[in-house]
A and B are shown apart, each in its own frame.
Chain A
Amino acid sequence: MTFYYFVNCVLLTFGPLFFVYKFTSLSEYGSIWRCGIALFGYIVTQICKLLIIATLMAPALIWGYLVDVIGIYWVLIKQQKASLSQVKILGVAVGWSFGESLLTRFVDYYVNARSMQFDWKHMLTAIDANLALIQNICICCLLWLWSRGGQKLPVAIVILYFIALTAIGANLMLKSSLVLVLSIGTLFAVN
């Protein structure tokens, strides 16, 4: 039944992406192309990130996050055609998350989750993908607020979030509480 487990993992990873696309205003506006650009942006950003790490020898996690944020900002602000802010934010977040899951998690599932050995790790990765989706939506929203309003609060939340994320490392429990704090912070910033 190991293939079934693989299916479960894939379902939990990509299902929410589909749901967010399908049952929000994204699908109404036919934003598949928008998501595609975000996916492309994700790939370009990762390549740039690796190039920077390779040349500048700065493997610190925080720099990786910085490049990611710049990448998201670039896709969100510079590459998106005029549309509803909601569509823009969700489109980029969904596309970005899809790229992330497809290129980092899916391969891992395909190689390891189908093996005979059962491992909770893959289920945890799938849960992590859900957290990443929320995180990306929040980050996109905050960046968008920052670009429009010119205020300091959203960008402060983003910076604090990534500093905290660097500090806690790979603990899923802490990460989930941190994402919770981030989403509350975003809610506060939005209102």
Chain B
Amino acid sequence: MFVYSDAENILNSSSSGTLSAFFAMLTIIPILIAITSPLTVKASQELTVYRMQEYDFQSTTHGCRNSIMNLEAKTAQLVSHSFARKCVVVKMLHLIENRDLFDELLSESVAGGLLILIPPDFRDFTAEQEDGFLLLEKTLLTQTVQIPVYFAIETPELLSIYDEIELSSHGKRENISTSEKIFNAVVANGYQIVVGGSQASPIKNVIVSSIEGKLIGRGGEDQNPTIAIVAHYDSSGSVPGLSFGADSDGSGIATLLELARIFSKLYSNPKTQPAFNLVFLISGAGKFSYLGTKKWLEDHLDNSENTLLSESVFTVCLDALADVENNGVINMHVSKPPKENTSAFSFYKRLQTVGKRYGINVTMIHKKINLADENLAWEHERFSIRRLPAFTLSTLNSHKSLHRTTITDTYDKIDINSLTRNIKILAEALSRQLFYIDDEKNSQLVDSEMGVSESFVTSSLKLLTSTPRAQQLLLTTERGNSHQLPMLLNTLQTMLKKYVKEVNIYHYKPDKREPEIVFYEPTIAKMNAYNIKPAVFDLFLSVTIVTYFGLLYLFLIVSTFF
């Protein structure tokens, strides 16, 4: 008891009442804090977003002309609502179901920016939804859009942001009392969508490379006619950063590599070396009127020293052989039907013979070259223009098929079995052509160790679809006098070199003054989604703090009276 009274005395000597009251009141603050629940803390989100494609082709502009965005996010719940100075965040499926909304968002400058969330897997789409999506993409590929349009793959974080934005815009719609409105404004979580960096600008020094590999026939290059096998490596879609092009034309490149692998064995043995040169061309800019092929042809035909194509039997172009449309056919697309006594016609007959054994119809589809079109329809047309016999093999019935230019064309869509079967038919028909076999029976040439390897096709297709292959992402850079191929092309070159001895690279550069093609950066960007609060919230916070100060002041004043 003594000790306490002692302490009391000490405090009493210096107006201890003040202190005790002070502490008594201080206890209120922790209570206040304890009853207010702590709110969840969210950090800023950095996301990878893919910009809608942008390019100029034949001096026509395509795609989205803007790349910078610093706007508040809103969901497109109200079509009539104006989204000026707002970034509309919308789900792909929502857009497919509401085409009008999509057209409105793009055509008029309703929104300040657009962020489209696409599902991580297109396999979940129904056939109807996929058709709708393909049509959307067609619009995106043809239109010129002034606002920045970005695509992001749905992630749990992104979806939670979406839900939050939707919730806040939902609350504003209903007729609610003023106090509720204020409460909503205070608790609302807004998001500011920011994509920084520099404004979209043309990529300088565009170089598109094509890889050529040669298997020389018996007796040397000059002594033999040439069969060329061509496929383009680039893919196309409304979003370059998401264009994996598994079928068009990943399947073509995989077929080409597999053929190179099989026939290199035949060519390596002098006893089985055919009397044909076999040329493999992995061409660039295939989705842009086959400019890479054009350059390659110019280099070969307009150069008198180069005799490779002086005697061309025919050229096989490969495009979309994995049969994503389930047509169950192989189509031979020609610009001019080959005459009956030509090699091209006999190859067609051989394809039919072999195809019959696998239950596959090989048909010929004739389409005249339309030079007025912006894009050439098929790759063989580049050869036909130069009067070289050529045709394109594809499972697609028409060059207008939207499956050739879509971001849904991913590895998951590919049926490896039908692709392998088609390669088998092609390889066998080609081997029959090389050795003039017209037997109805199985030639047995492309079998067992010479056979088509499904695992090889799978792995090369996986390699090709592991990265987006839009042309603007696969440009060659020039360092001094040497050219630096992009990673994927380097790999393809190495692969081809393994089977084919002579590998050359051809570089295509657009004209300096009037470029046929202009690509724009960026294609892949970093987007930040900042959690923001409305100004009302800050005001509310200030009022709360001032109230707290008022209470503190009162308590300090009161405590001095004790």
Question: Residues on A close to B: CB < 8 A?
Answer: 1, 4-5, 8, 11-12, 15-16, 19-20, 23-25, 84-87, 89, 115-121, 123-124, 127, 130-131, 134, 137-138, 141, 145, 148-151, 153, 172-173, 176-177, 179-180, 183-184, 186-187, 189-191
Contacts and interface: CB of A to CB of B under 8 A. Distances in A.
Contacts of A119: 41-43, 531
Overall SS of chain B's interface: helix
7 contacts: A85-B13, A131-B30, A137-B26, A149-B10, A150-B3, A183-B23, A183-B26
A173 to B, nearest CB: 6
Contacts of B312: none
B19 A130 contact: no
Contact of B4 (A130, A137, A186, A191): A191
Given A1-B538, A19-B552, A118-B530, A25 B43 contact: no
B192 interface: yes
B15 A86 contact: yes
Contacts of B84: none
Contacts of B530: 115-118
A151 B545 contact: no
A158 to B, nearest CB: 15
Contact of A177 (B30, B41, B534): B30
Q: How large, as a class, is the contact surface on chain B? A: 35 or more
A149 B24 CA distance: 22
A23 B556 CA distance: 6
A4 B538 contact: yes
Nearest to A144: B10
- 4 shortest A-B CB distances, which residue pairs? A180-B30, A23-B556, A117-B44, A176-B30
A124 B533 contact: no
Contact of A131 (B6, B33, B532, B538): B33
A149 B7 contact: yes
B556 A123 contact: no
A190 B19 contact: yes
Interface of B: 3-4, 6-8, 10-11, 13-16, 18-20, 22-24, 26-27, 29-31, 33-34, 38-44, 192, 194, 530-535, 538, 541-542, 545, 548-549, 552-553, 556-557, 559-560
B33 A172 contact: yes
B43 A85 contact: no
A73 B391 CA distance: 93
Contact of B34 (A4, A20, A116, A177): A177
A184 B557 CA distance: 21
Residue among B10, B27, B530, B552 having the largest count of chain A Cβ atoms under 10 Å: B27
Contacts of A85: 10-11, 13-14
Contacts of B18: 24-25, 86
Given A23-B556, A24-B559, 20 more contacts: A5-B538, A8-B545, A24-B18, A24-B560, A25-B15, A116-B530, A118-B530, A121-B41, A127-B33, A131-B33, A149-B7, A153-B3, A172-B33, A176-B29, A183-B23, A183-B26, A183-B27, A187-B20, A190-B11, A191-B8
A191 B553 CA distance: 24
A187 B24 contact: yes
Contact of B30 (A84, A87, A183): A183
B560 A23 contact: yes
A121 B531 CA distance: 13
B135 to A, nearest CB: 37
B553 A23 contact: yes
Given A1-B538, A5-B538, A149-B3, A25 B33 contact: no
Contact of A16 (B13, B23, B552): B552
Contact of B556 (A20, A116, A150, A190): A20
Nearest to A15: B549
A8 B542 contact: yes
Contacts of B548: 12
Contacts of A189: 7
Nearest to A184: B27
